[in-house]
Chains A and B, each alone.
Chain A
């Protein structure tokens, strides 16, 4: 299998936070969702791929090439959406685009104008006059206008209204019809990922807790709700987290089918959503 991004033992130490020897790979032509609570390391990881943050150790390959040795070449193939847009606020959108466009050999001005029109962004408006949602839309417009093979998006849907979120997701789905494009998408809004992601990587406290296909996660993972007598939970396979409730216990397991055979008849099993997984693994009483 060809990989768009390969990350091996990536480490970055800050005061009070460490990204701990992170490894995962994104196959070419797929969408990977990067989920995790605030401060988990999602933005750090994406910025390290862009070499905005230096690594302490480890290796990042983008399309098989080292991301520092081939920095300019790699970045020309990446469409990057920032978590906080960082453009010169006093400039009009057309000025910003005219300064940025010449750096991308595959810049498509027709496509850019089409997206600006579709996203209802006025070219003559200054960046500072835009709402947060419009700023994100402009950032998306730039990222999608140069036929990028890899699209890195750090919380692109934050601050966007549900209508535009749906529009963005359907636009991304269209882009993905061309099986050459790869997307890494970090978000808190996990329902967005359930619509478009092929792979899910969960990061918490600087560590990758799992990186797997969405189908595997949603198919195999479940929440067991049972009485307090199930507190001897060590026997349950694939426990990833649990929480005690007023009425009993809720357990997140990655092996629902196996677990079901061991459960008492009064217990109840539900499929776990990405939000449930994120909650149990970061806030539950026990993390796997």
Chain B
């Protein structure tokens, strides 16, 4: 597995510098706009999977390098697992790098220390896992063009739902209810007391989501022709 992770890092070295750049801009923005801790944590949970997992795969697609990777002496299951492990390694490295960089100019050390609390780390783990589950599987099967099409389709669906809702003068439309339920779900996790049971639940849920992501992504990837 180490040689796979090494390969990923060598082949995506340029991307690592770009991540570092993004992280610097992101933490400067958080400090400059005084973004509260909870919102920063949620942002990080969505930004990091996007940078670390999707951009590496987009790069691979750009150079049609799946053919190269799949012709190496390995199998597709190992390739998917290696990509998932590399994505997580990069996400945690970026998380730590961001905090260290932010420590250079952040005047309130308490703000940063919140990111290192077990509950914050586990919430980051769960939220990132959920977002990664969607992105990783989708990109591995349909590529970046698939993701863009998927996002456009979601936007069109949103617009149609809004139009239908305004035509029916219904304030509690489906889209609003859906968004509220997501916000309430996020609030539930952020507000919950960090009891051992709750922390264990976060950990187990994140592990389960990642196992699902791996199995589903392998199922999809094994059916691709190059």
Contacts and interface: CB of A to CB of B under 8 A. Distances in A.
A96 B7 CA distance: 9
B68 interface: yes
A52 B3 contact: no
Contacts of A76: 73
B10 A86 contact: no
Contacts of A91: 10-11, 13
B73 A73 contact: yes
B59 A54 contact: no
A89 interface: yes
A76 B75 CA distance: 11
B172 interface: no
Nearest to A82: B67
Nearest to A152: B71
A89 B11 CA distance: 10
Interface in B63-96: 63-68, 70-75, 78
Given A54-B223, A73-B73, A99-B11, A88 B65 contact: yes
Interface residues of B, number: 24
Contacts of B7: 99-100, 102-103
Contact of B72 (A73, A82, A103): A103
Given A52-B226, A88-B11, A103 B63 contact: no
Contacts of A88: 11, 59, 63, 65, 68
Contacts of B64: 84, 86
A159 to B, nearest CB: 17
Interface of A: 47, 50-54, 71-76, 80, 82, 84, 86-91, 95-96, 98-100, 102-104
B10 A53 contact: no
A254 B225 CA distance: 37
Given A52-B70, A88-B59, A95-B13, A72 B75 contact: yes
Given A52-B226, A95-B10, A95-B13, 11 more contacts: A51-B70, A72-B74, A72-B75, A74-B73, A76-B73, A86-B63, A86-B66, A88-B63, A88-B68, A95-B11, A102-B6
A96 B64 CA distance: 14
A51 B74 CA distance: 11
Given A47-B226, A53-B225, A88-B11, A103 B74 contact: yes
Interface of B: 3, 6-7, 10-11, 13-14, 59, 63-68, 70-75, 78, 223, 225-226
A95 B70 CA distance: 18
Nearest to A83: B67
The 8 closest A-B pairs by CB, nearest first: A76-B73, A75-B73, A99-B10, A102-B3, A86-B67, A86-B64, A99-B7, A52-B226
Contacts of B14: 90
Contacts of B10: 91, 95, 98-99
Contacts of A100: 7, 68, 72
B71 A75 contact: yes
Contacts of B63: 86-89
Contacts of B3: 102-103
A193 B225 CA distance: 29
